[in-house]
Amino acid sequence: MSFAEPAIGCQLSPFLLVSINVPLEPPDQQYWQAAVGYVELGMFQDANDQLENIDPFNRAVPEVLAIRLAIYRGLKKWELMQQIAKRLREFQPDNVQWTISLAYATRRAFSIEVAMEILIDAEAKFPREAAIPYNLACYYWQLGEMETAKRYLKNAFEIDLNWRKAALDDEDLKPFWDSLRTTVE
């Protein structure tokens, strides 16, 4: 098993786990699996305790760091989440999930503007990843730049129509949908 975070929205959706080989041997593999289970249950401190049992040499492998990222997100430790996301992005630069996680944590630890810079820099590298324009739409909306937000949201929908459902439920975009309702009424 390995951990992968879905690239959904201004508000990250729950972390998902997918199957691949984990490069850990017992007992570290069992500690990792227990941590995964605790994350899935929302028991983030217990998950962290399990990761602390892993041999210190193995704590830096991406699969362990990915669980640590989920733990810090759950505990709302944004600066720590940001550090882990940076490290994961260095290890796996072609995995857009780590860039999105970095922007998510940066938004909460520092500012929307700094998070936007991360995503704007990533646009050229990941032109077919709808999560990037989607998140940028959310950020621009929060800053009151509605026309730019609409352009980015349209771009996200053109890349992947499935983002329309996420957009309807996204708290960051709620004022946008409310403004459309008042325009129609």
pLDDT at 10: 52
Under DSSP, is residue 2 helix (H, G, I), strand (E, B) or coil? strand
CA distance 139 to 103: 10
Distance between CA 79 and CA 73 in Å, rounded?
A: 10
In the prediction, which pLDDT does 180 show?
A: 76
Write out pLDDT tens, residues 24-60: 999 999 999 999 999 999 999 999 999 999 999 999 9
pLDDT in tens, 97-149: 999 999 999 999 999 999 999 999 999 999 999 999 999 999 999 999 999 99
Exposed, middle or buried: residue 158 (CB in 10 Å: 0-12, 13-18, 19+)?
Answer: exposed
Q: At what angle do helices 78-91 and 62-74 cross, to 10 degrees?
A: 160
Specify the pTM. 0.85
The rounded Cα 64 to chain-centroid distance in angstroms is 16
Q: Cα-flanking dihedrals φ and ψ of residue 23, to 5°?
A: -80, 40
Q: Please enumerate in sequence order all residues whose Cβ is within 8 A of that of 53, keeping only pairs 6 or more positions apart, or say none.
A: 27, 28, 31
Q: Using the predicted structure, report yes or no on whether residue 159 has a pLDDT greater than 50.
A: yes
Using 50, 70 and 90 to split pLDDT, how confident is the model at 182?
A: confident
| pLDDT(170) > 70 | yes
DSSP assignment of 81-115: HHHHHHHHHHH-TT-HHHHHHHHHHHHHHT-HHHH
Question: Cα–Cα–Cα angle for 107, 113, 119, nearest 5°?
Answer: 75
Domains of the chain with bracketed CATH: 2-184 (1.25.40.10)
Backbone angles phi, psi at 17, to 5 degrees: -115, 140
Six-digit token string for 125 = 């590298």
pLDDT, tens only, 50-102: 999 999 999 999 999 999 999 999 999 999 999 999 999 999 999 999 999 99
Residue 99 tokens read as: 């860039």
Task: Tell which wins on pLDDT, 8 or 48.
Answer: 48
Q: Are the C-beta atoms of 14 and 27 separated by less than 8 Å?
A: no
Q: Using CA atoms, how far apart are residues 58 and 31, in angstroms rounded to an integer?
A: 11
